[in-house]
Structure 1
Amino acid sequence: MEDPQIDIDVLIRPVNGYDRPENEPISEPYRYLAEIPGNNSNVRGKFLEAFNRLYFHIEQKPLLDAIGDIISIFHNASLLIDDIEDSSEYRRGFPAAHTKYGIPLTINCGNLMYFVALQKAQITLPRLYSDLNSDLEIDIDKLKFETSQILIDEMLNLHHGQGLDIYWRDYLPETQESLPSVQDYLSMVKDKTGGLFRLSIKLLALFSKRETTDLIPIANLLGIIYQVRDDYLNLTSSKYSHMKGVVGEDLVEGKLSLPILHCLQLSDNSPVHELLYNTSSSEERREKPQLIAQCIDYMTKDSESLQFTYDLLQKYHDKVKSMIEDTEVDNASDSMLFQIIDQLGQV
C-alpha cells in the first residue's frame, strides 16, 4: 500500500494570524444565524450610523462598515452562546443554531467568532484607518492596542453581566430579602446589554478626528432601555411570542427579568412564585401554559409589575433624550438618533 501524499511543507509553514476560508463547516452555525433577519431591523447598525451623524462625522464608508462588521460579529457570536445558556429553541423565529448543529460545535463557533471580531479590531481596523489617512502620522501599534483593549473590556463586561443573569436564574434566592434589587438588576443589564452600545461609541471616538463629550453614560442608559423594553415585550407581545416559539419565554426559562423580579419582591404567594420555585426545569414549565398565563395576568392586574416596567421604560426614554440635548449638539431633536430612541419607546 502506497503512503498517502502528504505535503509536509504546508504543515510546518508558519501561521501569522487567523486566515481561514469563510465557508468552513465549523463556521456554519454563525453563517446560519447571521443570515436570519433580525427582529429589530438592525437597530445596532442604525445606532452606529445615528451616533456618527450627530457626533463623530466619520465620512469614510469603508471605515464605518468595518466598525459595523466588528459589532455585528460580536453580537451574533454572543447570541450563539446565549441561546445555549438559556436553552432557547428559537431565535428570530427560526430554530436556534445549536438545535441544528449541536451544542459542542455551536459553542466552539461562537467562541471562534469572538476572536475573529477581536482580530479584526486589532489588525484590520487600524490598517484600514492608516491606509485611508496616509497623510497623517499614525502610531499603528498604539492604535492596535487601543482597539483590542476596547473589545476586551466589553467582552469582560458582557460575560460578567451574563454570568449574573445566569446565576440569579439557576440559583434563585429562596427569600425576598436575598433577591437582587432593581438597582442590582439594572447594573447587570448595563454590563450585559450596554456593551454593544459602548463598543460603537468607543470605536467611533477612537477613529474620529473630532473631540466629543463623554457619551458612555448615554450608551449605558440606551442598553438599559433596550433590555427593559425586551423584558416588557417578552411577556406582552404576541409577535415576540411567535418569534420565540413560546408565550412568556422569560417565565419558561425561569429568568429574573425586571417585571418578574418586581413581582417576586412584592409577594411570595403568587403564580409567579409557584412557577419558578415549584418547577425544576424549563421543560417542566413549558408544559404549564395555563400557569404561565396566570403569571402574566397576575403581573398585569395584581402586582402591576408590567405597568412598573412600562413606566420605567418611558422615564428612561425621556431621560436619555434629555442627556443628548445636554450635550449641546445642533438639531438633536430632529436627529436620526432621536427617531430611533422614540421607536424604542413605543411598545
Structure 2
Amino acid sequence: MSFLNSKSGDNMEEKILLPYTHIKNLPTKEWCRNMQTSFNHWLRVPQDKLEEVINITEMFYICTVIEDDILDGTKLRRGVPTAHSTFGLPLTVNSISHLQLLILQRCMRLHPKSSGDFYDDLTEGKFTLPIIHATKTSKRDAILNILKQKTNDFTLKQYCVSLLEQAGSLQYTRDVLTKLDSELRDEIKKFGGNPPLEAVLDDLLSWRDT
C-alpha cells in the first residue's frame, strides 16, 4: 500500500492504518476465505488475481466492521477493545476513509473499469429478512419503533426478538434458509460437485443452532 513515497509517508500510513491492523489481527473464522477459494474450483481465476480479490474483500469487510462498531457504540470485538475504543474516534475515522481509498485504488488496478459504488453497502439501516417479514404482521409497528431507535439496550433487543418469534418471522427465515441450502446443494450436484463449496455450506449451517 502506498500513501507517500517518502519513508515518513510510509510511517504516516502505518499509523493511520493502526485501527485496521488491530482488527485484522484478531482471530477469524476461515469459512469466509474458504468460500471465496472454493468458487475457484469452477472459475479457474489465476492465483495472483484470486489472492488480490480475497485481500480486497477482507479490507472491505474490516472497514465495515470498524464503522459498524462506531455506529453501534460497541466496546468489544471478539473479546478485545474495538478499534475506536483503542485508538480514538478521530484516528479511526481517518483510517476508514483511507481504507476506502485504498480499496478503490486496488479495484481499479485489478480492473480499470471497476466503479466505486461501495458507499451504498456501508449505509446503515438495512432491513433483514425477519424484519421484512414482520412488517406484514400485527407486530409491525412495535418492531419498527424499536428498529428506528438503533438501541443498545439488551432487554429491548430481547423483547424485539420475542416479537419476531411471535410474528413467525424467525421461523419463516429458518424455512427460507433451509430451502436455499437444499437448492444450492442441488445446483452444485448439477455442476459435478464441489467438495470445498459443500464444506462451506456445512459451516454455514451453524444458524440451525441459534
| TM > 0.5 fold call | yes
Match of residue 163 from structure 2: 298
Unaligned runs of at least 5 residues, structure 1: 1-13, 124-143, 170-187, 189-255
Aligned partner of 1:32 among 18, 22, 35:
22
Distance 2:206 2:85 in 1: 33
The Cα offsets for residues 22-44 of structure 1, whole Å up to 9 and x where unpaired, read as: 87222110110101112xx1323
Aligned to 2:136: 265
Give percent identity, aligned residues only: 23
**CA RMSD, aligned part only?**
3.1
Runs of 4+ more than 6 Å apart: none
Deviation at 1:90, TM superposition (A): 3.2
Q: Is structure 2 residue 149 aligned with structure 1 residue 159?
A: no
1:137-156 residue pairs with structure 2 within 5 A? Answer: 147-150=111-114, 152=115, 155-156=116-117
1:103 to 86, 89, 102: 89
**Change in 2 beyond 3 A, CA 1:323/1:160:** farther
Mapped partners of 2:145, 2:51: distance in 1? 48
> Aligned equivalents of 2:26 and 2:136: distance in 1?
37
CA shift for structure 1 position 312: 1.0
Q: How does 1:1-347 map to 2 (within 5 A)?
A: 20-21=10-11, 24-38=14-28, 41-56=29-44, 58=46, 60=47, 62-123=48-109, 147-150=111-114, 152=115, 155-156=116-117, 158-163=118-123, 166=124, 169=125, 256-268=127-139, 272=143, 275-276=146-147, 280=149, 282-283=151-152, 286=153, 289=155, 291-300=156-165, 302-326=166-190, 328=191, 330-332=192-194, 335-347=195-207
Give ranges in structure 2 of 5+ residues lacking alignment.
none
Cα separation, 2, equivalents of 1:315 and 1:299: 20
Kindly state the Cα deviation for residue 338 of structure 1 after the two structures are TM-superposed: 1.3
Q: Is the partner of 1:29 in helix, strand or coil?
A: helix
CA distance in 2 between counterparts of 1:35 and 1:119 reads 23
Aligned-residue offset at 1:99: 2.1
Q: Which has the larger radius of gyration?
A: 1
What is the DSSP-based 3-state SS (H/G/I as helix, E as strand, rest coil) of the residue aligned with 1:308? helix
Instruction: State how far apart, in whole Å, the 2-side matches of 1:22 and 1:340 are.
Output: 39
Q: Aligned partners of 2:170 and 2:79: how far apart in 1?
A: 24
**Whole-Å separation in 2 of the counterparts to 1:70 and 1:276:** 31
CA deviation profile, 1:250-281 (whole Å, cap 9, x unmatched): xxxxxx4322332233024775356446xx46
Letter in 2 for 1:49: T
Change beyond 3 A, Cα 1:121–1:274: closer
Q: Is the 8 A contact 1:54 1:337 kept in 2?
A: no
- The one of the two structures with greater contact order (alpha-carbon pairs below 8 A, sep at least 6) is 2
